[in-house]
Amino acid sequence: MQWLRQRHAPANWLRWGTIIGFMLCWILVVPGFADHSDKKAVTLLDSQGGPPFDQKLFGEMRWRCIGPFRGGRTVAISGVPHQPNVFYMAAVNGGVWKTTDFGNTWNPIFDDQHTGSVGALAVAPSDPNVIYVGSGEGLQRPDLATGDGVYKSSDAGKTWTHLGLRNAQQIGAILVDPKDPNRLFVAAVGHPYGPNAERGVFRSTDGGQTFQKVLYKDENTGAADLAFDPSNPETVYATVWAARVAPWEIRSGASFISGGSGIFKSTDAGTNWRPLTKGLPGAGDGLGRIGIAVAPSEPSRIYASVEASKNGGVYVSNDAGESWKLINSDHRIGGRGPGAMGIAVAPDNPDVLYVANTTTWLAETITSVSGSARKTRRSSRYQAIKAR
């Protein structure tokens, strides 16, 4: 026993020495750290008006894939206002997936439906339990999966109801009123390889029980994208796409029969529409699919990603769509077409925008203001966002 006590004595001293050393370090270091943190926290809190944090903490963050690894191309994803841990994503042939833990785990919530192809997904801003899903991927290519209309969940994805527009085959976008979850617009691309009438922009004011066709050109021209004026949801922007192509070829979103793509605007909640053309390519320029985004912090600023064989690229309007100017024609930004160039504007800065294709691009437009006139010149600050 004496031998055992002598053997363990050094270990006990080592353990107690470690504990005492740690306590001394804590006593000496923590007050200075706390004082430093408090001073920095007060500065950041006063300047930003939010919870204190140090921007340097994010310096080493890198993009990484968090799944889910299903379904190939993905064109539909949505977060949930005031629920930063919840996201929905839908692949073009992999159904709808949901995460409630910031993307650490994903669960399929659409597998018992008749289609797994999804081209649009929208969560109602005023009621996060209401989700609309548009089936059919909406990307023109020789091998694609069509859908069978629009679906709705009223319980955050637990159960689903098929609403209609079964013959639309491809849904490019769904837009839900920020204050009314029952008022929505649907952009129906239509049959990818043949003519059909169930295409264009549809409106519902009863949560999808009925749909009214409010913007329609012809049996070969569908609708691809939608956007609200964030200051007034009575104002709606829509892009139409002459998207009928032959099944043995890929073109830049343009119809092989005729032109017809363009941007339209309604100021009476979608009842009447007029084209916006000044400064934009036309049918003679091989105009194809257009993506549209309105700056939340400056509603008169609108960006459009324009696919065209001539003068394609990123356009900007500073007068709510009345006139447009090409600000970047770099073909790398267009990436791999057709019809895959999404666009979005940062919510707090109208000069920061993102264009997504096979690569996501970040841009800061360069503007100059003289009196009441704003001049925008082509940005030289586009950069690819890559995982490292």
- Least confident stretch, 47-51, 166-170, 208-212, 268-272: 47-51
pLDDT in tens, 136-192: 988 877 778 899 999 999 999 999 999 999 999 999 999 999 999 999 999 999 998
What's the chain's average pLDDT? 81
Percent of the chain with pLDDT over 70: 75
Confidence check: pLDDT of 37 > 60: no
User: Does residue 40 sit in the same domain as residue 147?
Assistant: no
Structural domains of the chain, count = 2
In this structure, the answer to whether residues 196 and 229 fall within a common structural domain is yes
What integer is the mean pLDDT of 247-261?
66
Highest mean predicted confidence (pLDDT) among 200-214, 302-316, 342-356? 200-214
Is the same domain home to 22 and 79? no
pLDDT of residue 385: 58
> 3-class secondary structure for 182-238?
CCEEEEECCCCCCCCCCCEEEEECCCCCCCEEEECCECCEEEEEEEEECCEEEEEEE
pLDDT at 62: 83
Question: Do 222 and 296 share a structural domain?
Answer: yes
Residue 206 and residue 348 in one domain: yes
Q: What are the Cα distances from residue 311, in Å, to 257, 277, 278?
A: 21, 14, 13
Q: Is residue 329 part of a domain?
A: yes
Residue 228 domain-assigned (yes or no): yes
pLDDT-derived band at 194 (thresholds 50, 70, 90) equals confident
Range of the structural domain that residue 226 is part of: 74-385
The verdict on 214 and 106 lying in the same domain is yes
Adjacency order of strands within the sheet including 150-153: 118-123, 131-135, 150-153, 161-164
- The answer to whether residues 220 and 83 belong to one domain is yes
Q: Is residue 11 one of the residues assigned to a domain?
A: no
- pLDDT at 376 > cutoff 50: no
pTM of the model: 0.81
The answer to whether 318 touches 342, Cβ cutoff 8 Å, is no
Q: Domain check: are 251 and 370 in the same one?
A: yes
Q: Please write the tens of the pLDDT for every residue from 83-142.
A: 999 999 998 888 999 999 999 999 999 999 999 999 999 999 999 999 999 999 888 777
